[in-house]
């Protein structure tokens, strides 16, 4: 079924997830695609971006993958919504350990190499596929669809503690807490070079590219720059490397990796911001702890993290 809308009126969208065709009106010229979808469909910006990421948006009959695409008067924007709000496929065979749980929330131990949630309706082998099989009440929580219960994310190659909401009330509370930087997150990382002591760092970060994601340190007045803060402390030393713990004060895409690399101490195994020649199976970054009020969970170092640290030459007795 196809519903057409010439623009300007109330958004035409049905609960049955029908396709929609809309024509860009003159007053909507130069609007970003995601903003256009928000206004026309009365959805959140995150939901609009997920439709775009899933390949469900066409402009003049061509799939458009970029949320920031500027629209022109008279263009036809088509929305394919049939499956975009469907929950991920439950996969009980996936082994994702539960670190802690309480009323309305759970913390799971995300393995390295496993995405947090699917980007496409039939995508499998993500943390959320496993969680839905064990906690079906999470379906429809928060943003719903392919991001049921998700309140924050970890990079695909980062392991460790991941907090999810299993009720809408808790989801709203946790999203607010993350937005106000009230959730305390600690990471462990093996980095190049020697760091001593403890220090608080501030840097202004900006997303330089979305796909694949790339973040840069920028000046404070750069467009889109955001002030980001963390504190690192050295906990162990090797001959040419340091094991550090990092407490995040803000949450920004790739923040720990980018800020450590900017200091001259990139994370071992980080091919984007570090060195491509490292002898490591992935970036050695692990989300070791998360804390917010009564929510507390710790994730032990995974086996690959331990193996890399044990393989590093030890610190010489002269230090």
User: CATH code at 108?
Assistant: 3.30.2350.10
Strand order in the sheet with 76-79: 2-5, 19-23, 76-79, 57-59, 62-63
Same-domain check for residues 165 and 249: no
Q: Which residues are catalytic?
A: 155
Has residue 86 been placed in a domain? no
Has residue 289 been placed in a domain? yes
Range of the domain at 236: 184-311
Per residue in 3-59, pLDDT tens? Answer: 334 444 333 333 334 368 899 998 889 999 998 987 887 666 777 887 888 788 999
Same-domain check for residues 212 and 296: yes
Hey, is 157 helix, strand or coil?
coil
Same-domain check for residues 114 and 149: yes
Name the helix (H) or strand (E) containing 161: strand 159-165
Same-domain check for residues 103 and 168: yes
What's the whole-number average pLDDT of the chain?
89
User: CATH code at 41?
Assistant: 3.10.290.10
pLDDT in tens, the chain (319 residues): 333 344 443 333 333 343 688 999 988 899 999 989 878 876 667 778 878 887 889 999 889 989 999 999 999 998 875 555 678 999 999 989 999 999 999 999 999 999 999 877 778 899 999 999 999 999 999 988 889 999 999 999 999 999 999 999 999 999 999 999 999 999 999 999 999 999 999 999 999 987 688 999 999 999 989 999 999 999 999 999 999 999 999 999 999 999 999 999 999 999 999 988 999 999 999 999 999 999 999 999 999 999 999 999 998 777 6
Q: How many domains does the chain have?
A: 3
Distances (CA, A) of 107 to 102, 190, 290, 291: 9, 24, 9, 10
Same-domain check for residues 175 and 188: no
Same-domain check for residues 252 and 168: no
The domain boundary residue, chosen from 131, 159, 179 = 179
Bridge partner residues of 242 (DSSP): 191, 237
């Amino acid at each position: 079924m196809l519903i057409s809308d010439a623009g300007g009126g109330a958004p035409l969208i049905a609960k049955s997830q029908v396709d929609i065709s809309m024509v860009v009106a003159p007053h909507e010229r130069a609007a970003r695609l995601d903003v256009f979808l928000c206004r026309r469909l009365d959805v959140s910006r995150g939901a609009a971006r997920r439709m775009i990421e899933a390949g469900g948006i066409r402009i003049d009959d061509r799939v458009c993958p970029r949320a920031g695409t500027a629209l022109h008067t008279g263009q036809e924007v088509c929305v394919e919504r049939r499956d975009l709000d469907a929950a991920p496929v439950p996969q009980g065979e996936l082994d994702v350990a539960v670190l802690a749980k309480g009323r309305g929330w759970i913390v799971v131990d995300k393995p390295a190499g496993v995405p947090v949630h699917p980007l496409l309706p039939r995508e499998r082998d993500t943390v959320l596929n496993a969680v839905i099989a064990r906690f079906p009440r999470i379906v429809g929580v928060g943003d719903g669809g392919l991001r049921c219960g998700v309140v924050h994310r970890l990079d695909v190659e980062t392991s460790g503690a991941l907090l999810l909401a299993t009720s809408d009330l808790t989801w709203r509370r946790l999203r607010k807490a993350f937005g106000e930087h009230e959730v305390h997150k600690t990471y462990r990382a093996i980095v190049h070079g020697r760091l001593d002591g403890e220090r608080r760092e501030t840097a202004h970060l900006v997303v330089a590219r979305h796909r694949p994601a790339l973040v840069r340190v920028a000046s404070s007045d750069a467009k889109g720059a955001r002030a980001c803060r963390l504190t690192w402390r050295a906990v162990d030393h090797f001959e040419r490397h340091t094991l550090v713990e990092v407490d995040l004060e803000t949450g920004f895409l790739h923040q720990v990796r980018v800020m450590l690399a900017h200091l001259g101490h990139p994370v071992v195994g980080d091919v984007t911001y570090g060195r491509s020649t490292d002898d490591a199976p992935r970036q050695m970054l692990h989300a070791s702890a998360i804390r917010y009020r009564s929510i507390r969970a710790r994730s032990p170092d995974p086996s690959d993290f331990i193996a890399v640290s044990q393989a590093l030459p030890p610190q010489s007795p002269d230090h």
